[in-house]
A and B are shown apart, each in its own frame.
Chain A
Amino acid sequence: MSDSISTYADAVLSIARAEGDPNVEGQLASFANALSDNDQLSSALADETVPVERRQQIVEDLLGGRASKATSAVVSMLIAAGRTSDIAAISKAVSEQGSSGRGREFAEVRSAVPLTEDQTQRLAAALKKSTGKDVEVNVVIDKSVVGGLVTQIGDTVIDGSVRSRLTKMRDAFH
């Protein structure tokens, strides 16, 4: 993790604490997911030729009513700072630092489709059983996974994706 990503993550968590808003972390992760899932939105928000105010307005329109004021402010701040392309990394850093602050392990789970709340809880329980630690799960939508899941906890990666099986099959063919 670069220093700038870590610095922005600290700033986001400071804003969340100052506002007393526990939802910033999750809502920022959801926004990062939406952004990575929508190239057109991602390009529009990263386009330097579009005035910052216009891009911030787009964010307000998108998040209005669905996210807290603190979350909207954080996203606007990152866009104004020209960090649109780093929002996913900053969100991940925020989740890692948040989990660490709560005494839990952070698990980034990549999936081609969203997980239900039930699936997320059962996955967290399964990961706790496997690692022996309380785990917070952050699901990231990643179409390249194709199917199944890829979980990263610290340096450990548990890859059960269709993509990895296809890669193995491709290697076997060669």
Chain B
Amino acid sequence: MWTLAAEGPNGRFLPSDINEFIWGSLAFLVVVAVMIWKFAGPVKAAMAARTARISDELAVADNAKAEAEAHRQAQLAKLGDADAEAAKIVADARTRAASMKTDLMAKAESDVEASKVKARSDIEMSKGQALSDIRAEAAQNAANAAEAVVNDNLDDARLASLIENYIAEVGS
């Protein structure tokens, strides 16, 4: 470019005056240097801050990720506990059902046995009552018959005899 500028202006890439080129370049360099001198620190600080911020954000993200993972593990553990609890409930229910079945069977058998005993007792009672009624009726009939015989045989002589016996017994 320098050679081209020394050869003279071409009207396209190079100014027609080499000094203009030199001073223009120097001015450019001065501007760059000033910019570096003025802005390099803040830019570096800004970059460092950005890096730190990004690093913090990454750390926060990592923490969040770790927490999420922990939460996920906890949920998985809970799910595991829930499954175990469900299995325990089902097992308990089965045990209770089996126990209830046993109890109900025992009660049913007991009820049946009690019904049998009561039925036997009722039958015995009915038999006893029937026998008692028959005995009572037989006794009543026998007593009526005996009384009828006594009445038929109580003539005047026997009545007088009974009175005499009474007087004799009272006076003895």
Contacts and interface: CB of A to CB of B under 8 A. Distances in A.
Interface of A: 111-113, 115, 119, 122-123, 125-127, 129-130, 146-149, 151, 158, 160, 162, 166, 169-170, 173-174
7 contacts: A113-B156, A119-B167, A127-B171, A149-B163, A160-B162, A173-B143, A174-B139
Nearest to B168: A126
Contact of A160 (B135, B139, B142, B165): B165
A166 B167 contact: no
Interface stretch (B64-72, B75-83, B146-154): B146-154
Nearest to A166: B147
Interface in B101-149: 135-136, 139-140, 142-143, 146-147
A127 B162 CA distance: 16
Nearest to B158: A147
Interface of B: 135-136, 139-140, 142-143, 146-147, 150-151, 154, 156, 158-159, 162-171
A56 to B, nearest CB: 36
> Is chain B's interface secondary structure helix, strand, loop, or mixed overall?
helix
Contacts of A126: 167-168, 170-171
A146 B165 CA distance: 15
Contacts of B135: 174
Nearest to A125: B171
Closest 10 A/B residue pairs (Cβ): A126-B171, A173-B139, A160-B166, A170-B143, A126-B170, A148-B162, A147-B162, A149-B166, A129-B171, A174-B139
Contacts of B136: 174
Nearest to B156: A113
A148 B163 contact: yes
Contact of B167 (A122, A147, A162): A122
Contact of A146 (B150, B163, B164, B167): B150
Contact of B154 (A115, A146, A169): A146
Contact of A112 (B142, B159, B165): B159
Given A122-B167, A170-B139, 12 more contacts: A113-B156, A123-B167, A146-B154, A147-B162, A148-B162, A148-B163, A148-B165, A149-B162, A151-B170, A160-B170, A166-B146, A173-B140
